Structure 1
């Protein structure tokens, strides 16, 4: 390797094929370590490439690749999973080697891990209560005394006592948040559907989340004790979503239950065990250091950081040094869901752990480290890597332009979409039209979720996990959700004409996406009071909530996140008694929308402009 002079400084050069593996958000210091160079010299090289950076500043992928190319190196950005694996290997902890070394004789059966999901008010909580009360062991021990976010019940099945672990998450939002961090916790999902209500929007959301995770589903048809109950209707409705009951020749088990009357609970638990035995190989090695996932955690005034963890393999013992995400510590005490102290916990066992120095996040993986010092070092390095990656750039997800570029490079063959619209008919029509797009066998279009109403935080979470593009048809997100999407790099496309959405997706799938105009939001204003004027029509007395409102700007009116007036214009704008050209955030103003008078208090006026956006590829 030669050491050429660039900008008056000597820098080691690669031969054009030398690979440098480096993490996302690395600094010039990190890059210099990899190629054995002086970090200050790399500052000069980067300056000659037109970039200014300090030696400790986190850099984005493009800058690192450009720097590597200039010096004759092929830069490979290491994924967070690979980075964490390499970090652990540097401490002589090789998870992959552990798995490969395990033979059939080391693996022992473990209980299935089940998550209960479904529409609000369909009886999830009642069902969980009924399952708890059916636990033969809990009955002998005097019942559940505390809630730890997960619990284990023991039931009799085919003459033997079998355990089932239930994760009591607050819904599919938490389920997705855990998947976003790479935590595949659930083995089986129970989908609760009310027999008198049928399939509802959140039922579909929960179903889509479970199917995206690739877990078997058992359907619990609840409230069969009601007069208006119609379990057959539920079975028919769910066939539209690829859940075909065994009665119809499918392989999904449907169990009629009444959580209130506590009937059918034993049959439901039996269905879970039958599904587990038929579809899954649930075995783990208990004779090694524990590995698992943090399900939830909180800071308790008296006990400090309290984390509920699910052991996935190995055995966790009191006194073990553990690290969970960026939190570390020594297990001071462990409790089960009945509040009883435990000395050890095996695979699929949920326990409450005391002793961590900070609070881990839901979905963070935990492992037992050789000693306290190693646990602290792993946690500190993870924390530093996370901060650097965050500073380097926002996490960029897939956009339609990126999809075209990735398609050309052969990196991706599926485009995932989340569809949201103002009415179900429009969403169905859009879905049907998109699925009819024919681009051959090389690429596939997958709609992972569809729904009616405003774009929610849950939609953004799902798009984050599955690298999806969100299509909004006559609907918008609120400010908080838009900020989350921007932060996560989720591409949201807004349309009011179906064929424009179809055209964009089709062009993207065919790799022919043309330069587009990008809608840029200028500001939003909330209508506080409406003034009637015979000369000007209805005037919206408003307060500017974000950005600015500009006279003659394009506008639309939103009611509960749904577009009720589009293709409008701010025709008059007054501040007190004066005509003004613009009003900024925090100020009140009067807004006239010309002949459009269908406004109500609480509506949001959104202003925007169209800017040409050139394709980068």
Structure 2
């Protein structure tokens, strides 16, 4: 006969009999003495009891029976399977239990952030702070590494595990996720997919314009003295599709709002290939030659950036506002 398999209907821990699983055999014949795995539980079938409470030696397809002899209580809905060898059954169950523990850890893991860095150090949880550093120029990376080397590292060692020039990619986020690192960016931005992945995985991305801001924040976080967060709240992502030169106004970008809503009074940054190349204000915002206050996602508009004429097709104009947020205690 083929090795029996089926599904666990219900299971309980009985005071006198230990773990008891009621199973429905779907294929093959289940017999007393069979090595069996049900979910993460395993064991050799010690007894089979039919719905009338009688001990039986075998159970075939469509037969519900109580199984005694398992190492632990499986879950309703778990599949069970008979193995030729008890050692194989044990190994399979242990492998499943390990995978389940890893899944549970992944579901509850919380990555380190600058906000909780001090608490983690105080609790003795954290001995190393890993950083992934991305910048617009190599010089910024070298300057940060030099400044970190001079920082007091008696309580927590700071490691730059990866550094490169360019925007923040999904690979950077995956590396930070795997190594419990914070991503530090200078003059660069995450692509939308990278940002979404970081939010999903709980990876902290910190963006700065200058080195000293990063050093001050890391230092303050280390001793639990972070000041209120000045947060840049993104309002819109706009793609430049065409350029027009307008007398007295200069270059106007014929643009499409990909995400959010651009406001006339937003601050803007011009991003090219993931690198911030200009930051300033909107000089003009128009739709069909009419001045407007806002343009929503899915609509086209003309944008003039105050003090900047070097826009190119394919550039991204990001709208944002600066707000101060009290940090969580």
The question of a shared fold, defined as TM-score above 0.5 by the shorter chain, is answered with yes
DSSP 3-state at the match of 2:212: helix
For 2:275, the equivalent position in structure 1 comes to: 562
Counterpart secondary structure, 1:555: strand
| Helix, strand or coil at the partner of 1:449 | strand
Closer/same/farther in 2, CA of residues 389 and 499 from structure 1, 3 Å limit: closer
Question: Which of 215, 218, 225 is the equivalent residue of 1:502?
Answer: 215
Which string of whole-angstrom CA distances, capped at 9 and with x for unpartnered residues, describes residues 222-272 of structure 1? xxxxxxxxxxxxxxxxxxxxxxxxxxxxxxxxxxxxxxxxxxxxxxxxxxx
In our comparison, the structure showing a higher alpha carbon Rg is: 2
User: How far did residue 611 of structure 1 move?
Assistant: 2.0
State the secondary structure of the residue aligned to 2:121.
helix
Who is 2:121 aligned against? 407
Of 156, 171, 181, which aligns to 1:443?
156
| Partners of 1:473 and 1:494 within 8 A in 2 | yes
Q: Is the 8 A contact 2:266 2:320 kept in 1?
A: yes
SS in 2 for 1:401: coil
Work out which structure has the larger RCO, using CA pairs closer than 8 Å and 6 or more positions apart in sequence: 2
- CA gap 1:485/1:371 in 2 versus in 1, 3 angstroms: closer
On the 8 A contact 2:42/2:89 being kept in 1, the answer is: no
Taking the aligned partners of 1:407 and 1:476, their CA distance within structure 2 comes to 29
**Normalising to structure 2: TM-score of the pair?**
0.69
Contact 1:404 1:513 in 2 (8 A): no
2:126 aligned with 1:416, yes or no? Answer: no
Structure 1 residue aligned with 2:141: 427
Secondary structure of 2:309's aligned partner: coil
2:41 alignment partner, one of 88, 91, 106 = 91
Other-structure match for 1:553:
266
Q: Check conservation: 1:552, 1:571, Cα contact below 8 A.
A: no
Find the partner of 2:306 among 555, 571, 594: 594
2:125, 2:135 → 1: CA distance? 30
Deviation at 1:510, TM superposition (A): 2.4
Q: 2 CA distance for matches of 1:480 and 1:548?
A: 19
Q: 1:474 to 1:89 in 2, by over 3 A?
A: same
Match of 1:452 among 146, 159, 165: 165
Structure 1 residues 587 and 387: CA distance shift in structure 2, 3 A: farther
Using structure 1 for the length normalisation, give the TM-score: 0.38
TM-superposed deviation, 1:606: 0.7
Q: Which has the higher strand share?
A: 2
User: How many Å separate the matches in 1 of 2:272 and 2:152?
Assistant: 36
Q: Does 1:581 align with 2:293?
A: yes
- Say if 1:524 and 1:544, in contact at 8 Å, map to a contact too: yes
Cα separation, 1, equivalents of 2:168 and 2:91: 46
The unaligned stretches of length 5 or more in structure 2 are 1-11, 13-37, 44-78, 82-86
Residue aligned with 1:433, SS? helix
- What secondary structure is seen at the aligned counterpart in 2 of 1:400? coil
How many angstroms apart in 2 are the aligned matches of 1:409 and 1:371?
A: 36
Bigger share in helix: 1
Distance 2:91 2:167 in 1: 49
Count of residue pairs brought into register by the alignment? 252
Task: Give SS of 2:307's match.
Answer: coil
Residues 281-315 of structure 1: CA distance to partner in whole angstroms, max 9, x if unpaired? xxxxxxxxxxxxxxxxxxxxxxxxxxxxxxxxxxx
